[in-house]
Amino acid sequence: MGIESTADDFSVGVSTFDGEILANAIDAYVPPEGGIHPREAARHHADVASKVLREAFTKSGIRPKSLSVLAFSQGPGLGPCLRTGATVARALASYLGIPLVGVNHCIAHIEIGKLRAGAKNPVTLYVSGGNTMVAAFESGRYRVFGETLDIALGNCLDVFARESGLRQKVGMPFGAVIEKLALGGKKLIPLPYSVKGMDVSLSGLLTASVALLKKGDCRLEDLCYSLQETAFSMVTEVTERALAHTGKEELLLTGGVAANRRLQSMIRAVAEEHGVKFETVETQFAVDNGAMIAWTGALAYNHGVVTPVEKSFVRLRWRPEEVEVPWAE
């Protein structure tokens, strides 16, 4: 079983050691207004924890006593949210007398992506509300080849949407709202394009987009279109650079923003140009989810990794390079 609670989602997944996903229950916190307040989100997680746990047990048909290991996302993420998930995990593991495995959230995204897409050794573009990185496996670890120098891609889109007075709802997050509006965009408005090495910087793009919005001379559809085209071109360019640099033969797109069809088409075009396989993940496994924690926990546990309770403190800035990955080839 895996418990995920790094940001706005509280999720519990159940996986077998062969990678069959038996349950993936998710309850997302939707703030009444504004962004995610870490403590508000943590309170939500505490409120829904027992409900989501029960749902995962019911769906999987697994009784608590048959669990062999309990995995939880140990970081990186929002402190109060991580602590809530870790507390649930510790309590349940000690009650059942089974070992804990602390899982790195970013690595879990890559592992579930590989599992669901049937990928072996891809370059992964992982784009979400909290993370934007290009990573690939080299000599025992996932190395980050490129990432954002400031804000995450999803965060950039979310803040712009909020500034525009747009509303999100369950099943229609800000990213999807912008994607829909962008389809009505006709004019490409010049916006700052900032690629530095294999890194991107998105804060200037966000500031410029919001400034144009407040000025009121541009259609919202055109702005959404231009923001998407510019931001996605930037991450696609660095992904292509990492692909050329590593010479890998698969390209995996995952994270919450992976649901965007325009981004998918750009990444697919790069994969085709380089003659590599393009892979992406179903939305329920691309967004933050418990199944990815369960599966990565199973992989780690199979290779002798366990996390003693005294070492199960949450790690807010835990980088993927810090984790040895004995299970990947």
Partner 1 sequence: MGRVSSPVLIKKGAEANLYLADWHGRRAVMKKRLRKEYRPWKLDEQIRKYRTVHEPQLMHEAKRAGVPTPMIFLVDVKNTTIIMEYIDGKQVKQLLSAISEGERQRLCFRIGQLIARLHECGLIHGDLTTSNMIVGLGGRVFFVDFGLGDRSGEVEARGVDLHLMKRALESTHYEFAGTCFESVLAGYGSVLGAGAVKSVLDKVREIERRGRYVAERKQEESSV
Binding site for partner 1 (CB under 8 A): 7, 35-38, 76-79, 130-132, 138-139, 141, 143-145, 147-152, 155, 188, 190, 193, 195-199, 229-230, 233, 236-237, 240-241, 243-245, 265-267, 269-270, 273, 316-317, 321
CB closer to partner 1, 208 vs 306: 208
3 state DSSP class of 61: coil
Nearer to partner 1, 152 or 298 (CB): 152
By beta-carbon proximity to partner 1, the closer residue of 11 and 15 is: 11
* Integer angstrom CA distances of residue 251 from 135, 138, 211, 237, 266: 10, 15, 35, 13, 12
Q: Name which of 60 and 147 has its Cβ closer to partner 1.
A: 147
CA–CA gap between residue 242 and residue 247 (Å, rounded): 8
In whole angstroms, the minimum distance from the beta carbon of 90 to partner 1 comes to: 21
Instruction: Report the C-alpha gap between 88 and 3 in whole angstroms.
Output: 8
Q: How many residues does the chain have?
A: 329
Closest distance of CB 86 from partner 1, Å: 15
CA atoms of 324 and 305, how far apart (whole Å): 10
Q: Please identify, using beta-carbon distances, which residue of 38 and 99 lies nearer to partner 1.
A: 38
Q: Compute the distance between CA of residue 269 and CA of residue 277 in angstroms, rounded to an integer.
A: 11
> In the complex, what is the shortest distance from the CB of residue 93 to partner 1, in angstroms, rounded to a whole number?
25
Q: How far is the CB of 22 from partner 1 (least distance, A)?
A: 30
Give, as one character, the DSSP assignment of residue 262.
Answer: H
Q: Provide, rounded to whole angstroms, the least separation between the CB of residue 260 and partner 1.
A: 13
Nearer to partner 1, 35 or 326 (CB): 35
* CA distance linking residue 113 with residue 145, whole number of Å: 18
99 backbone dihedrals φ, ψ, rounded to 5°: -70, 155
Distance CA 25, CA 3 (A): 10
Q: Are 204 and 230 in contact (CB under 8 A)?
A: no
Find the shortest distance in angstroms from Cβ 257 to partner 1: 14
Least distance to partner 1, CB of residue 184, Å: 15
User: Which residue lies nearer to partner 1 by CB, 70 or 152?
Assistant: 152
Which amino acid, residue 14?
V
If the CB atoms of residues 145 and 301 are measured against partner 1, the closer one turns out to be 145
What is the C-alpha separation between 154 and 143, in angstroms, rounded?
22
Minimum distance of partner 1 from residue 148's CB (angstroms): 5
Torsion sign over Cα 20, 59, 82, 252: positive
